[in-house]
Amino acid sequence: MNIKKLLTPFTAWGNVTKDPVTIKDPLNERPGADRYRGFHRNDVEACVGCGSCEDICENEAIDLMPAKDTKDGDSGLRPMIDYGRCCWCALCVDVCTTNSLTLSNEYTWISTDPEDFRYIPGIDKKEWDNNNDKGWKKPEPNYEFYPLKRIQPSHLSPEDRSDSFIEMMHGYSKDQAMQEADRCVECGICTATCPAHMGIPEYIKAIRNDDLEEGLRILYDTNPLPEICGRICTHKCETVCTIGHKGDPLSIRWLKRYIADQNPSERYKKILETENLVSKGKKVAIIGAGPSGLSAAHYLVQMGYEVKIFEKLAAAGGMMRYGIPSYRLPYDQIDKDIDYILSLGVDIQYNINVGNGEGEISLETLGNDYDAVFSGTGLHLGRSTGIPGSDNKHVYASPDLLRWIVEGKEFEVPENVVVIGGGNVAMDITRSMARLQMKKYGKVGVITTALEGEDKMPADREEIDEGREEGCIINPGWAPKSVEIDSNGVPTGLNVVKCHSLFDSEGRFNPQTDEDNKEFWPGTMIIESIGQGMDISYLDGKYKDQLEFGPRGRVQTDEYYQTGLPWLFMGGDIIKGPDVITGIATGHKAAVGIDRMLNPEF
């Protein structure tokens, strides 16, 4: 036997004099490491209850529970964790769209009641809530579970578009649409905010599955004007998109356009299963072929009503055709949507005004001839600032000019134009005039102002940026004082003063200006674009007393847009909005209301 190998192991006795390595009081001496994955924390003010945490949890440990008030962009739900199932993998933290969910480094917690181990972090207060610097947070850098950058569709360069009314945005290619659709987390927070409650996550999923026919069916469930909305919708959905908290919101509008663009109009009836609609024999009249009227017509004809639209102008579309320039919304796309609705059997009469004058059809006649009437006559009257000189004939209202451009009416395009207004319509007229000037003079001479400051302008940011790219001067934060008029009765320009604030401390409209800080902007044409008014004079007469009027002269309706006259429903910009998608939503709901009234058995 090897004596050395018998004795060597006894060197271990050397440890007898050494201190033990055990931690004596682990609960106090041994906190979790800085990244330790312990119990959940949630910043419930930042959380929007999108439920991505619930989706990614493979253990089904997370439930969404009502905990806050529901509002646009916030479901009011908050995640509840069941620690009987949680495995502390923290994928819920990594996927969180707002970075509100984190794990603390606390790993000891004792309770005799098992129900305690199911709680809503941030709502049910825990002692580790305030230990914000320790524990698991979404890793850095460049660690994202979904791409945060938006895929931009290609568009005409400012040089190519500045003298042209050709559509400037190109649609998505298939690859682009797939990539953009991939970014969606399918939370559906956008759905409630969309006035029409479109099935946004569902149609985006259809794009991912490359099933565009299913996509079209989903679009038509809630919106019969997808080509139009796919181009010019105010896309409130995108402002609440949860991906927007960390990155660019999804380009929901261009995705919708992609679906509509890819489906040929010949196949619509087959795809949407509307080849054999059966009539029930009841008749509905619709006043105005704008978004709300067309929407109501579409859903009513689908439900089996005979629908007739009375339209004042020579073509259908309302403000979509006569208010939106074709570089944003080409006419053939308007026609594609409208022709499909008309092809379902909707009758339409053009160039007929509803009113009490000569050659007009009266509301009373419609009320007698039809079982129900829906009116969506819209806002077509330009409002005036009322400043000195604004009554000059060279001071125009934007709706008139925009309509003239569509109708091809000849009018003088001067070298210098001043536009008053900061909304999307003001941007439309600004950029339309710039194009006309570019064609005529080879240069742009438009200056546009608004009371609001740069960051408060109501127009879409991209409209402002693109307008500037095209050479328009957009100079917000000025209040118009007077129109300067020369001896020939032609304006020479606009006097403006700096505007500091719009509202007083109580929130009332009360612009504060600095009279010393003034400028004079030359222009021989002044365009006012500060909002539009409605013309509902057709209500005058025997019905007026039976209707109730609210603020700004709007007729009061119930939630189905039924007025005090049971057979009269009203919707669109004259009731709500103004914008296209709200018009569509009101038309849809009014159609439901009409059906409920005429077929109460449902």
Partner 1 sequence: MNEDRSLYPEHDENGKPIIDLESHKFLKLWQGPQHPGITGNMSLELTVSGDEIVESKTHVGYLHRGFEKLLERRLFVQCMPTSIRLCVAEPDPNEYIVSTAVEELGGIEIPDNAKWLRMLSLEMARLQVLLRGVPGQAGTFALGLGYQWGNYLRDLILDSFEELTGGRVYHMYIIPGGVRGNLPEGFKGRMLEKLKLIDEFVVKIDKLIFQNVVFESRAKGLGHIPKEWVDKYGVYGPAARASGVMRDVRKTNPYLNYDQLDFEPHVTTEGDVYARSVVRYNDLQMTVDMIRQILDKMPDGGDIRAQTPNVLHWKIPKGETYVKCESSRGEYGMYFVTDGSDKPRRAHLKGPSYTHANALLDKLLINANIADTAAIMVSLATCPPEIER
Partner 2 sequence: MQKGINNLIEKFGASDLVERRSGLSFITVDQTKAVAAITHLKDIDGYTVLSFITAADWIEDGKMQLTYMLNNPAEVAEIAIRVMLERKKEAGESMETIHHLWPNAKKWQQELKEMYGVDFPTSPGVNDSFILEGWDDMPPNRRDFDTKQYAEDTFFPRGGRVTHDPATYMREQLDPKDPQYYTKKKKKDINS
Distance CA 206, CA 38 (A): 38
Structure tokens at 3: 């004596």
SS3 content of the chain, % helix, strand, coil (to 5): 35, 20, 45
Structure tokens at 8: 């060597």
Q: Which of 66, 386, 550, 566 binds partner 2 (CB under 8 A)?
A: 66
Q: Which of 50, 169, 315, 447 binds partner 2 (CB under 8 A)?
A: 50
Q: Which of 102, 162, 302, 385 binds partner 2 (CB under 8 A)?
A: 302
From the CB of 415, what's the least distance to partner 1, in Å? 50
Residue 63 near partner 2 by CB under 8 A: yes
Binding mask 169-198 for partner 1 (x = CB under 8 A): -------------xxxxx------------
Nearer to partner 2, 162 or 295 (CB): 295
Distance CA 36, CA 61 (A): 19
Q: Which of 31, 188, 244, 471 binds partner 2 (CB under 8 A)?
A: 188
Q: Which does 77 bind (CB under 5 to 8 A by kind): partner 2, partner 1, none?
A: partner 2
Contact 561, 575 (CB under 8 A): yes
Strand partners for 373: 285, 568
Residue 64 near partner 1 by CB under 8 A: no
Residue 187 near partner 2 by CB under 8 A: yes
Q: Which does 589 bind (CB under 5 to 8 A by kind): partner 1, partner 2, none?
A: partner 2
Residues 6+ apart with CB under 8 A from 266: none
Q: Which of 39, 40, 47, 49 binds partner 2 (CB under 8 A)?
A: 49
Q: Which of 26, 66, 84, 139 binds partner 1 (CB under 8 A)?
A: 139
Q: How many residues bind partner 1 (CB under 8 A)?
A: 46
- 287-305: b (≥16 Cβ within 10 Å) or e: bbbbbbbbbbbbbbbbbeb
Nearer to partner 1, 36 or 560 (CB): 36
Q: Which of 64, 65, 89, 123 binds partner 1 (CB under 8 A)?
A: 89
Residue 189 near partner 2 by CB under 8 A: yes
Distance CA 226, CA 218 (A): 10
Q: Which of 90, 169, 285, 459 binds partner 1 (CB under 8 A)?
A: 90
Residue 485 near partner 1 by CB under 8 A: no
Report the run of H or E that residue 56 belongs to, with start and end. helix 52-56
Residue 65 near partner 2 by CB under 8 A: yes
Question: How many H-runs (helices) and E-runs (strands) does the chain carry?
Answer: 21, 20
Q: Which of 47, 77, 216, 434 binds partner 2 (CB under 8 A)?
A: 77
Contact 289, 311 (CB under 8 A): yes
Q: Which of 131, 164, 191, 390 binds partner 2 (CB under 8 A)?
A: 191
Q: Which does 279 bind (CB under 5 to 8 A by kind): partner 1, partner 2, none?
A: none
Residue 371 near partner 2 by CB under 8 A: no
Count of positions (residues) in the chain: 602
Where does this chain touch partner 1 (CB under 8 A) — which range of 54-62, 341-349, 460-468, 584-592?
54-62
Strand positions, DSSP E, 100-176: 101-103, 118-119
From the CB of 150, what's the least distance to partner 2, in Å? 22
Residue 146 near partner 2 by CB under 8 A: no
Q: How many residues bind partner 2 (CB under 8 A)?
A: 41
The most distant pair of C-alpha atoms in the chain lies apart, rounded to whole Å, by: 129
Q: Which does 110 bind (CB under 5 to 8 A by kind): partner 1, partner 2, none?
A: none
Q: Which amino acid is at 317?
A: G
Q: Which of 83, 146, 404, 560 binds partner 1 (CB under 8 A)?
A: 146
Where does this chain touch partner 2 (CB under 8 A) — which range of 72-80, 122-130, 465-473, 499-507?
72-80
Where does this chain touch partner 1 (CB under 8 A) — which range of 27-35, 225-233, 340-348, 535-543?
27-35
Strand positions, DSSP E, 432-585: 446-449, 473-474, 478-485, 491-503, 509-522, 525-528, 532-534, 568-570
Where does this chain touch partner 2 (CB under 8 A) — which range of 38-46, 127-135, 184-192, 306-314?
184-192
Q: Which of 138, 197, 269, 554 binds partner 2 (CB under 8 A)?
A: 197
From the CB of 128, what's the least distance to partner 1, in Å? 15
Residue 276 near partner 1 by CB under 8 A: no
Residue 222 near partner 2 by CB under 8 A: yes
SS3 157: coil
Q: At 418, phi and psi to the nearest 5?
A: -115, 130
SS3 322: helix
Distance CA 61, CA 53 (A): 10
Contact 105, 131 (CB under 8 A): yes
Crossing angle between the packed helical segments 424-441 and 398-407, to the nearest 10 degrees: 50
Residue 113 near partner 2 by CB under 8 A: no
Structure tokens at 351: 């160039």
Residue 602 near partner 1 by CB under 8 A: no
Residue 134 near partner 1 by CB under 8 A: no
Q: Which of 26, 34, 170, 270 binds partner 1 (CB under 8 A)?
A: 34
Distance CA 414, CA 523 (A): 8
Q: State how far the alpha carbon of 288 is from the alpha carbons of 237, 285, 339, in Å.
A: 27, 10, 16
- Sequence-distant contacts of 148-156: CB under 8 A, at least 24 apart: 148/183, 148/243, 148/246, 148/247, 148/248, 149/247, 149/248, 150/180, 150/183, 150/247, 150/248, 150/249, 150/250, 150/251, 151/176, 151/179, 151/180, 151/251, 152/251, 153/251, 153/254
Which residues within the stretch 530-569 sit at the binding site for partner 2 (CB under 8 A)?
559-560
Residue 28 near partner 1 by CB under 8 A: no
Q: Which of 40, 77, 80, 94 binds partner 1 (CB under 8 A)?
A: 94
Residue whose pair of structure tokens reads 């067309």 in the numeric block: 294
Q: Which of 245, 253, 380, 589 binds partner 2 (CB under 8 A)?
A: 589
Q: Which does 197 bind (CB under 5 to 8 A by kind): partner 2, partner 1, none?
A: partner 2
Where does this chain touch partner 1 (CB under 8 A) — which range of 52-60, 301-309, 370-378, 400-408?
52-60
Contact 310, 284 (CB under 8 A): no
The residues of the shown chain that bind partner 1, judged by CB under 8 A, are 1-2, 4-6, 8-9, 11-12, 21, 32-37, 52, 55-56, 58-59, 87-91, 94-95, 103, 136, 139-147, 182-186, 205, 208
